Amino acid sequence: MAYVIEIELPLSGNWFKYFTSVDSLEEAESIKQAAEGNIKTRILKNY
Protein backbone atom coordinates (compact mmCIF):
# COMPACT_ATOMS: atom_id res chain seq x y z
CA MET A 1 0.00 0.00 0.00
CA ALA A 2 1.25 3.47 -0.78
CA TYR A 3 1.41 6.34 1.69
CA VAL A 4 1.36 10.12 1.37
CA ILE A 5 3.38 12.50 3.53
CA GLU A 6 1.65 15.79 4.21
CA ILE A 7 3.30 18.85 5.70
CA GLU A 8 1.65 21.80 7.38
CA LEU A 9 2.50 25.14 5.82
CA PRO A 10 3.53 27.25 8.84
CA LEU A 11 2.00 30.60 7.94
CA SER A 12 -1.35 29.41 6.62
CA GLY A 13 -1.87 26.22 8.61
CA ASN A 14 -2.92 24.43 5.42
CA TRP A 15 -1.74 20.89 4.70
CA PHE A 16 0.18 20.14 1.49
CA LYS A 17 0.86 16.70 0.00
CA TYR A 18 4.65 16.61 -0.17
CA PHE A 19 5.67 13.01 -0.84
CA THR A 20 3.23 10.81 -2.73
CA SER A 21 3.45 7.09 -3.43
CA VAL A 22 5.77 6.21 -0.56
CA ASP A 23 5.78 2.41 -0.74
CA SER A 24 6.16 1.36 2.89
CA LEU A 25 5.11 2.61 6.29
CA GLU A 26 8.73 2.33 7.45
CA GLU A 27 9.87 4.67 4.67
CA ALA A 28 7.05 7.10 5.51
CA GLU A 29 8.00 7.07 9.21
CA SER A 30 11.64 7.73 8.27
CA ILE A 31 10.67 10.79 6.23
CA LYS A 32 8.41 12.01 9.03
CA GLN A 33 11.15 11.62 11.65
CA ALA A 34 13.66 13.51 9.47
CA ALA A 35 11.28 16.48 9.27
CA GLU A 36 10.22 16.37 12.92
CA GLY A 37 10.98 19.53 14.86
CA ASN A 38 11.04 21.72 11.78
CA ILE A 39 7.51 21.26 10.46
CA LYS A 40 4.38 19.32 11.35
CA THR A 41 3.93 16.18 9.27
CA ARG A 42 1.38 13.41 9.01
CA ILE A 43 1.14 10.12 7.17
CA LEU A 44 -1.96 9.15 5.21
CA LYS A 45 -2.81 5.98 3.31
CA ASN A 46 -2.98 6.68 -0.41
CA TYR A 47 -6.14 4.98 -1.69
Q: Domain limits at 21?
A: 2-46
pLDDT at 22: 87
Q: How many domains does the chain have?
A: 1
Maximum CA extent, the chain? 32
Spatial neighbors of 6 by CB under 8 A, at least 6 apart, are 15, 16, 17, 18, 41, 42, 43, 44
pLDDT at 3: 92
Q: How does pLDDT run along the chain (47 residues), one tens digit per residue?
A: 789 999 998 889 999 988 778 889 999 999 899 888 888 999 998 87
pLDDT at 20: 76
How distant, in Å, are the alpha carbons of 7, 12, 14 from that of 34?
Answer: 12, 22, 20
pLDDT at 1: 73
pTM, two decimal places: 0.72
